[in-house]
Amino acid sequence: KTVVVDGNVIAEEIRTKIISEVGKMKKAVGKVPGLAVVLVGEQRDSQTYVRNKIKACEETGIKSVLAELPEDCTEGQIISVLRKFNEDTSIHGILVQLPLPQHLNESKILNMVRLEKDVDGFHPLNVGNLAMRGREPLFVSCTPKGCVELLIRTGVEIAGKNAVVIGRSNIVGLPMSLLLQRHDATVSTVHAFTKDPEHITRKADIVIAAAGIPNLVRGSWLKPGAVVIDVGTTPVEDSSCEFGYRLVGDVCYEEALGVASAITPVPGGVGPMTITMLLCNTLEAAKRIFL
């Protein structure tokens, strides 16, 4: 029987601990962690993600500040906002909501976030340190960190296991592969150019699907007993749903049931963990300063 890994329950456990630690910090030093969020433009998905992040901060006692810039703003404008947050001692974490509008140089902007405040873990030096043995990144990006946390808290051993990461984006797939290597898994990466992804996936004890293609991974792709973490969240039109669409994962859930030993549902699997890891990283950043 397949265990359904409830991301909401696990995320809630972690958030309860965060609330208590923020409370302790307030008592000890009279201050709370602070997160600054930079949102450029009016993309609906980004607005929703940012709203959820700010709400999660409020619920855990973390202070949040939102800087909204217009779609047509210049790199200089964003950089000056980042400089301000970099200097602000009440701000411990800074995140730039991605994707940025086409005319902006994403990598140049992410490079401007002060390393000690890079709670999204997207600064090239944090990614580089994640990749190199013997070095420690200050922050690991939230979605990969959340996936590993789900594995650990479900009692899945990672060391020595064959893991497949489907997708290699800077945000999810690439740091996911690097993080699993750090946990001593044998990692294969499957991407848009991979020949016979099914064959490679079927060898994996742990499958992390992050391609953003609904139902890409069929039941037949899975080794019996594999643990499946489904990162994919693609909105698919569905008039019976509240907002006219529902979120669909990368894994054919019905087919995976009965084959996988454990699986995360979409929604309610990785999503709540991603935001929770952002809260963890922000708390950690503040602890490094205060405690």
Instruction: Please identify, among the stretches 75-83, 119-127, 165-173, 219-227, the one whose residues bind ligand NAD according to the rule CB under 6 A.
Output: 165-173
* 34 contacts: CB under 8 Å, gap ≥ 6: 62, 63, 64, 65, 88, 90, 91, 92, 93, 282, 286
Nearer to ligand NAD, 189 or 261 (CB): 189
Sign (positive or negative) of CA dihedral 172, 217, 265, 237 = positive
Q: Give the number of other Cβ atoms within 10 Å of residue 155's Cβ.
A: 9
- Is residue 117 near ligand NAD by the rule CB under 6 A? no
- Is residue 197 near ligand NAD by the rule CB under 6 A? yes
Which residue in the set 30, 76, 133, 192 belongs to the binding site for ligand NAD (CB under 6 A)?
192
DSSP E strands in the chain: the ranges are 3-4, 34-40, 63-69, 93-96, 162-166, 186-190, 206-209, 227-230, 234-237, 245-248, 262-263
Nearest approach, Cβ of residue 289 and ligand NAD (Å):
27
Number of residues in contact with ligand NAD under rule CB under 6 A? 25
Nearer to ligand NAD, 86 or 169 (CB): 169
- Is residue 47 near ligand NAD by the rule CB under 6 A? no
Cα 217 from Cα 199, distance rounded (Å): 11
Nearer to ligand NAD, 32 or 228 (CB): 228
Contact at 8 Å (CB) between 97 and 40?
A: yes
- Is residue 210 near ligand NAD by the rule CB under 6 A? yes
Residue ranges that bind ligand NAD, judged by CB under 6 A: 143, 166-169, 171-173, 190-192, 194, 197, 210-213, 216, 231-234, 270-271, 274
